[in-house]
Structure 1
Amino acid sequence: MARTVRFHELGGPDVLRVEDVDAGDPGPGEVLIRVDAIGVNRAEALFRSGNYIEPVKEFPARLGTEAAGVVEAIGPGVTGFEPGRPVSVVPGFSMNDHGVYTERAVVPASAVLHRPDGLDAIGGAAVWMPYLTAYGGLVDVAGLRPGDTVVLTAASSGVGLAAIRLANHVGATPIATTRTRAKKDALLKTGAAEVIVTDEEDVADRVLGLTEGRGAEVVFDAIAGPGVTDLAKVVAPEGTLLLYGALSDEPTPYPGFDLGMPALNMRTYTVTRETTAHPERLLRAAAFISSGLRTGAFEPVVDRVFDLDEVVDAHRHMESGNQVGKIVLTVGH
């Protein structure tokens, strides 16, 4: 039996329960992982509350798509992994099918990566989703190039911090936004060229001023909602407004007509549908990120670590919006 986080109804963090569940054996194309650390992502809070891009199909439901641990067993047809190998699990499956908030998890081998040397379990649970999302959205989809400017909203999140480092790595200029001054210094320390405090400053005015009126080739937005109209004002001609999150609870308009029909590309991006679901794309992304980890250009940024039994507190902390970086759960064995 394995201690496993499940929920029997939709709701807030308090619906989460730690229960003893049979981990099962890996089937064809699957791997059994002894989980040591778990990356906590906003997608899990949305899934838990019934607001995710896919609904919960049955209860009790599991959570989690990102973890680090050690291979315990492999299923038929799996190659490239063996028991004892340190690995990371990346978001590459539905939480209706698998969940890694547990001591032992059966997951698809296609969602398992070898953990780079020198990366411990906490780092291995914190690094992949942020950098995969940043790479897939900014490089694969938006084609971020040296000399470009990228505006990053909600920049103190794990993805936002990874995007700052990635932009610098490819020679682009990252402009970060944050609601209050509390996180400004942390964003500058991470490598943001400029930080815009949205409670005090007009984003469009600042970005256009910083770019001498040209605007940003890419806006990487985690918020959506009505604020996309202001963000669209700063997209350079033929640039891209890329939405990878929906922190706003309000409808998201298409602002092109209100702004006089500029040459605006606006689209959504999800790492599970456009990067990790495609083996070749995942391979390229993993190679890029592993290279950055080896050189020190990339590193996991961990805000707080909780024990698996403190999962309710971890989700409350995530929903408070006070974190800078990744929240991680650890699993004692």
Structure 2
Amino acid sequence: MARVVRFHQLGGPEVLRIEHVDIPDPSQGEVRIRVKALGLNRAEALLRAGTYIETPTFPSGLGLEAAGLIEAVGPGVEGLAPGDAVSLVPPQSMVRWPTYGERINMPAALVVKHPPALDWDTAAATWMPYLTAYGALIDLAGLRRGDFVVVTAASSSVGLAAIQIANRVGAIPIAVTRTSAKWQALLEQGAAYVVASGEEDLAARLAEISGTQGVRVVLDPIGGPIVAPLTAAMAEGGIFIEYGGLSPEPTPFPLFAVLSKRLTLRGYLVHEITGDPVRLEAAKRFILDGLESGAFRPVIARTFVFDQIVEAHRYLESNEQFGKVVVRV
């Protein structure tokens, strides 16, 4: 028996329960992992609330990130053995492959032997943000030296990973945050510029920063009214990558900016990378290289223990965090 987190109805953090379940032996191509830490993501709160791209089947597990020790390997697994320290690439379905548990079975293809220097918390905080940012900025946008790139929700784990990736390739990251409260912290994390969208004219400030060159890449998980000023500051031929929909307000289509500047507006999910073995392998090499060199440093906002999973989800939805929320198991 192992403790796992499940929910039996949609709702707020209070619907999460810690329950005891039997964990079977790993099947063909699977490994069983003794989990040491979990990384929390907005997607998990959305699944719990019934607003995610997946539909839970009750009782439903959840979770996309974890790190721990391999306890057992199933038939057909090569290159992994009991005792290996590993972390997880987010599964295509967290309903099928939930990570919130003391012990979990996962496909071996999603398991990464992470650098020994990573502690459990940091390892659990790595793959979702860096894969998401890599897929958008490097794989899709082809971000290059000298490009201005705007990162909204910049204090999120994906936003901070995007800033580090931009610096890694010599691009110029502009962090957009709602207020100036996190201004200095974003500069310390590598943002070349910080814009407080609730306190400044966003389009004017971005135009002032990028000058005649303009912003070539925008990475945004918000949508809503902010799309108009962001596209207004973009360069001809720029690409706007939308990977979320956090705004409760309607998202206007910036018709004249798109036409006059020949912009590409691109919806994006990290599944595009994790579901393609070739692209995933390239992403893992890029991220592992950055981790080993010290260029990539996952930022952890706060840690909780497993029994505090409800409190951890409340904090996840508070918008107070700077970086990743981690739960130790």
State yes or no: 1:294 paired with 2:282. no
Instruction: Give the whole-Å Cα distance in 1 for the aligned partners of 2:77 and 2:255.
Output: 48
Q: Secondary structure at the match of 1:297?
A: coil
285, 305, 308: which one aligns with 2:283: 285
Aligned counterpart, 1:32: 32
Residues 187-220 of structure 1, C-alpha deviations (whole Å, 9 max, x = no match): 0000101100111101110111111133211000
State yes or no: 1:49 paired with 2:30. no
Q: Secondary structure at the match of 1:62?
A: coil
The 8 Å contact of residues 233 and 259 in structure 1, kept in 2 or not, is answered as: no
Aligned counterpart, 2:16: 16
Instruction: Give the whole-Å Cα distance in 1 for the aligned partners of 2:285 and 2:91.
Output: 17
Aligned counterpart, 1:319: 317
Aligned counterpart, 1:305: 303
Instruction: Give the whole-Å Cα distance in 2 for the aligned partners of 1:207 and 1:181.
Output: 16
Q: Secondary structure at the match of 1:240?
A: strand
Quick check: 223-232 or 245-254, which moved more?
245-254
Q: Secondary structure at the match of 2:181?
A: helix
- 1:1-333 alignment to 2 at 5 Å? 1-56=1-56, 58-257=57-256, 260-271=259-270, 273-331=271-329
Percent identity among equivalent residues?
55
Residues 169-200 of structure 1, C-alpha deviations (whole Å, 9 max, x = no match): 10000000111111111100001011001111
Instruction: Give the whole-Å Cα distance in 1 for the aligned partners of 2:257 and 2:137.
Output: 26
- What is the CA-CA distance between 1:253 and the residue it aligns to? 3.2
The 8 Å contact of residues 256 and 264 in structure 1, kept in 2 or not, is answered as: no
TM-score, with structure 1 as normaliser? 0.96
The 8 Å contact of residues 258 and 264 in structure 2, kept in 1 or not, is answered as: no
Residue identity matched to 1:13:
P
Q: Secondary structure at the match of 1:291?
A: helix
Residue identity matched to 1:14:
E
Residues 49-97 of structure 1, C-alpha deviations (whole Å, 9 max, x = no match): 01111222x1000010100001111111111111100000121230120
Residue identity matched to 1:208:
A
Q: How many residues align?
A: 329
Quick check: 126-135 or 244-253, which moved more?
244-253
Instruction: Structure 2: give runs of 5+ residues left out of the alignment.
Output: none
Q: Secondary structure at the match of 1:247?
A: coil
Q: CA RMSD in A?
A: 1.2
Residue identity matched to 1:312:
V
Instruction: Give the whole-Å Cα distance in 1 for the aligned partners of 2:174 and 2:109.
Output: 34
Instruction: Structure 1: give runs of 5+ residues left out of the alignment.
Output: none
Residues 141-179 of structure 1, C-alpha deviations (whole Å, 9 max, x = no match): 111011100000000000101111110110000000111
